[in-house]
Structures are given as C-alpha cells and as structure tokens.
Structure 1
Amino acid sequence: MEVTPIYPPVTPFLQVKLDQEVVDYLWKIIDIGKIKNIDFKNKLEGNISQSFLLDDIDQFFYKSVCAPLVKLYREKNHNLGDPVSKNALLGPGSKLVLDKFWANYQYKTEFNPYHNHSGVYSFAIWLKIPYDWEDQKKLPQYSEIKDKSIKAGCFEFEYDDTLGSIANYRYTLSSKFEGYMVFFPAKLRHCVYPFYKTDEPRISIAGNLSYLPN
C-alpha cells in the first residue's frame, strides 16, 4: 500500500523584516501625521485611543516595499489579486494604489476586534511593542490556563481550514517584532488582543492596496 499525504494550498501571508531605512521613514511620517492629526478612528473597527492618516511621501513606501511584495505574492500564488482575473470591470488598465495608510496608538486594555479590510492587499507593521507576551502570560488571571489559550497582547489571523473549521495563527508579540510587517489578502480576518500593566502605547501602522480604474 502506497500512501502519499496531500496538503491542499491555503492562502498565505508574508512576514517581512523591514530595512532600517524604511523604519526610519515610517517614524518620520508618523511625526508628520501627528501634527496634521487627520483622525481616522471613526473609519476603523478598533477600540483604541488614536488612529490618524499618514502620507506616503513621494510614494516611497509603496515603491520600495509594497510593489515588490505584490510582485512576489503574485508569483507565489498564481496571480492572486490580479485585477483582470478578479474584477473584469476594472480592466487591464487599472492601477494598484496605496489608498489607505494610517497609524494606530493602542493603550492597555484596548483592542482591535476581528475584522477584515477593504481593497485587495493589506498590511500591518509593528513599530513599538511595549510589552512581552512572556510577561503578560504570568499575570494572575492567566494562572492554570494553557499557553496556547493566552492571547494577551497577541496579533492573530483567523481562517477556515480544509474541514470548514475556524483556525488561527497568532503572534505572541514582544519588542523582538518591532520593525516587522505582515502582508496579507485584505479579506483575511485578524485581530489584536488587549495587553496590560504598561502605560506605554503599542504603535503600529496599517494600510490597504486597492485597484482604481485607469
């Protein structure tokens, strides 16, 4: 008897360690965004203190990070997200743009419930993580709870597995993830759980890539 396991494809996401030049640029546009203070919180699902829009100066982030990741993602996933194959109304002249770009300031006990994004591709970038999941899990409310069930401060994706059950992929965050980015299909559901103890904010950036008619 010959047995061969078959693993059907599951839509992936990309984990990216950003170059320091890019991280420095992101902090720069956050400083500019704080001054302009164009509120974006009422457009989001997050139960957090502050969200404001960012400007991608001279399309630096789109050109240096987003465009190469889109190319790589399509190559690895049979052109998933191609506007011609996915939405004939847009046509071959449609243009991919970074149409939403914002910063999030999340403080202890605040959270971002499960949600998805508009557009075709989305991303989340962790710039400041003021806690360590290893410390969070030691809090009294988590005593006698299995590590896999402790979600304090975690970022988590949610998806259907091949049996139709809900599966999760979580990041147990700490400062080690500062400067990392996850790039994923916009409809992939995700959330951010609350953290505790520290009064410092968790600072992240998110964005959506969409096609616009030519």
Structure 2
Amino acid sequence: MEEVKYLVIKKFGPSIFKIKIPNKIVDKLNSYVDKIIEDKEKQKKLNFGNNLVGDVTQEFFLEPDTIKETGWLNFLSTCVQKWIEIETGKKIKKFHLEKTWIVRQFENEYNPTHWHGGHVSGAGFLKVPESLGKHKQKKNDIEYSGGNLQLIHGSRMFLCNSILDIKPEVGDFYFFPNYLMHSVFPFKNTNEERRSISFNATIDENIYNVYKY
C-alpha cells in the first residue's frame, strides 16, 4: 500500500511561544527574591498583591535596576521580537515593559481565571515543588493537576479543547497575548514554594492593532 502523507492543521487560537530562561538569569532572579524575603521594608514597598487576583502568599514587583542587571529585560524583549517576527513577518521597533512581578504560591493557594493588560504577556517558573503534579483530581473525564498553569481560550467543542494544561518546569517560560485567560489550581501535600514570574508589555501599535484597516 502506498504511504499516505498527512498534515494536521491546528492554527486557530492565540499563538503561544515557549522558551527556556537561561540558567544564569533564573539563578540571579531567585537570589534577588530570596533577599527580598529577608527585607520586610522592601517587601512593603514592592508589594503588588492588592492589584492581582491571586489568593497567594506574596506578589511583588521587580525593581528597575534588577530587571536590567539580571538580564531579564533583554531576555523578554529579545524573545518577544523573535516571536512576533515568526508570527507576523514583521520586526517590532518598540518594546515597553509595563510591569514584571513575582508570585510566591504555597499549599492550597491558587490563581483564579484572569487575563493581563498591555499587548503581550507571559508566565514562567523559577521554583517548583518536587511533588507538584502528583495530586490529581479527575471528574467527568477532566483531570486537574494541582499547581499546573492552564491557558484558556474559546469553548470546548468536538476536536477543540479550550484548555492547554502546562506542568511547571524550572526555567520554562510561556509568552502569550495579553487577553489569553489563564489560571493556576491549588496544590497539596507539600510546604515547598511554587515561584513564578510574569510580565506585561506593549509593542508597536500598528502591529498589535489588527483592526486598523
């Protein structure tokens, strides 16, 4: 029988760009966070918890100098430039980082379904409990793993799953459009920290605004 060639096309929905944060940046960011944890005054100054939806232990901004010195700003801008070029064939001339912040999450804490501001956003992982993902709940053929990041778009229909379930791995970072809904379920049976980092940024308006014509 002649070999049949096939291609499954699945291009609908928002683009997601996955990449590894360099280890040296992960280490610098974790070192910075560990120092903030020991500095109560700085924690109050950088607190971002009142502006975010999560029921988590701590959320705080990164300081401007740290964003540059750790290489975090360059990483974000370089990745976004590459991602947009791959998707649109256009090179951005503007990358304005509006906010970037740390989320410290522990047992039984969660982040409900939400979305971000700006044009582009993303989330990644700096620390992950060893037992993360071992606690699963399955109901009506849907399985949930505590601590996983879920990206959500559209409605669940035949051949169209509206959820991308992501198991956190240290260094993994996911870029996505600001409007993409996402959430994190609570995890159990550990006192270890799930430490993530996110950002909001704007790019060239003429590239972002697809309704300009």
TM range (shorter): 0.7 to 0.9
Q: What's the CA shift string for 1:135-156, capped at 9, x where partnerless?
A: 213xxxx4x7578512322110
Change (3 A) 1:210 1:81: farther
2:30 to 27, 30, 44: 27
Which stretch of the first structure deviates more once superposed, 21-30 or 99-108?
21-30
Task: Please tell me the residue identity of whatever aligns with 1:129.
Answer: V
Distance 2:175 2:36 in 1: 22
Distance 2:161 2:10 in 1: 17
Distance 1:149 1:48 in 2: 23
8 Å CA contact retained: 1:133, 1:153:
yes
Give the alignment's Cα RMSD to 1 decimal: 3.1
- 1:6 Cα shift? 5.5
Q: What is the TM-score normalised by the length of structure 2?
A: 0.76
Aligned to 2:198, what secondary structure does the other structure show?
strand
- 1:106 Cα shift? 0.8
8 Å CA contact retained: 2:81, 2:91:
no
Distance 1:42 1:195 in 2: 22
1:169 to 140, 164, 170: 164
In structure 2, list runs of 5 or more residues that go unmatched.
1-5, 206-213
Residue number in structure 2 paired with 1:110 = 109
- 1:125 Cα shift? 1.7
Pairs within 5 Å for 1:32-181 = 32-34=35-37, 35=39, 36-37=42-43, 38-57=46-65, 59=68, 60-63=71-74, 65-78=75-88, 95-137=94-136, 142=137, 145=139, 148-160=142-154, 167-173=162-168, 177-181=169-173
Distance 2:76 2:105 in 1: 24
8 Å CA contact retained: 1:33, 1:53:
no
Distance 2:89 2:17 in 1: 15
Q: What is the TM-score normalised by the length of structure 1?
A: 0.76
In structure 1, list runs of 5 or more residues that go unmatched.
83-91
Residue number in structure 1 paired with 2:196 = 204
Distance 1:6 1:212 in 2: 29
**2:21 maps to 1:18:** yes
**2:194 maps to 1:194:** no
Change (3 A) 1:71 1:166: same
Distance 2:142 2:20 in 1: 25
Q: What's the CA shift string for 1:104-147, capped at 9, x where partnerless?
A: 1111111000100010111212111114345213xxxx4x7578
Aligned to 2:175, what secondary structure does the other structure show?
strand
Percent identity over paired residues: 26
Distance 1:205 1:5 in 2: 33
Aligned to 2:145, what secondary structure does the other structure show?
coil
Aligned to 1:197, what secondary structure does the other structure show?
coil
- 1:163 Cα shift? 6.5
- 1:96 Cα shift? 2.4
Which stretch of the first structure deviates more once superposed, 189-198 or 11-20?
11-20
